[in-house]
Structure 1
């Protein structure tokens, strides 16, 4: 077999031979222990040489007969590989620059051996509803806070000047009452009385008023309380805030109708 046939080992290993040459070389390989041994040594580096085409193999074959051409070829290959490597580094660096513009903090923390900061949730656009859309007096329960449930009733006594705002909410157990009072001077003791339609009464709350009172010049803060009665709202005639003397006798301060 010719010397050229022996040089087909590299081309065969790289799979660049055509079908006819591959068949001819395999016939040669079956009887040539030298080519078989050379082919075995080339198996581990086939992956490294897989990017060399047939023209490169032909050029390499020619260099064996021309040492000057061999040197030039090796220099050219090394230059080509350096340039390819340099282009790869530039491409990688460009990717890092683009990506680092967004995640520079993450890379910095990783370089320092730290942990990347947790993602920060961005603002959510939406419409915030006011806590209370019910129209009413500024001092009503729920103004600037949680909206009160039930029917709102406002009342002011023409003689005492006491102002009251009630929220009456019918429940299975009876009636829930939330109320505020203003223009209520002190000191005094007061109570809330339920007056039913059958003329019966029930005291459902009592409290003490300090000297500065509530909803006054000395103390602008309104008094806010809540109470409950077992009476159904349909059975109630009105609610009455009373001042209580030392003998337990009540004097009406303001009356709030139930219906």
Structure 2
């Protein structure tokens, strides 16, 4: 571990707040740190929830340089605060992330915890997997029903802040923009994560590797009816029953 890489950088990495060189260094650190990989799996869902909060109500007080209570999206404000404190240790910022989120979201509390153990994946295999793939491989997948050759499934778990899911998707060609959505039993729809599919696609001839993604929803798992992978045009590619 280099002097600029700390275990507490997980929060900043999950929200995309690290500078490029720090990001590369932290990704290298992840390969040899099971604790950080485990915590990153939890924070991936939190990051998706934060992106979905959207603009905040206007604060009547004049904003200050470190204020997180004015208008703007949550992650954007955290990103600007991170830039302002770039010369300080990232651990301080990551440790205060949960408190800052509670403040700016007007009562929305998101909790994270460090998992006690690693998924049952062989060490040699785990080193070649990203966090989403490792979580998927260590869980019990729920197979989905796809269209036009699309296949995939989800591994899901209940969290204090809602639902965390790892998606495996194959048989899809681009270019496309897609989202993983949780659909509640009362019909509410929440975007868990989104991505772009390159022209080569995933899990198809010439590009055989499937896509693995993390996502998070504020809807509790027991209140989720199903999960859907949809395109930006509204076309449903995959449905996974909860």
Same fold at TM > 0.5: no
> Taking CA–CA contacts closer than 8 Å with sequence separation of 6 or more, which of the two structures ends up with the larger relative contact order?
2
Which category describes the TM-score, using the shorter chain as reference length?
Answer: 0.3 to 0.5
Q: Which of the two has greater helix per residue?
A: 1
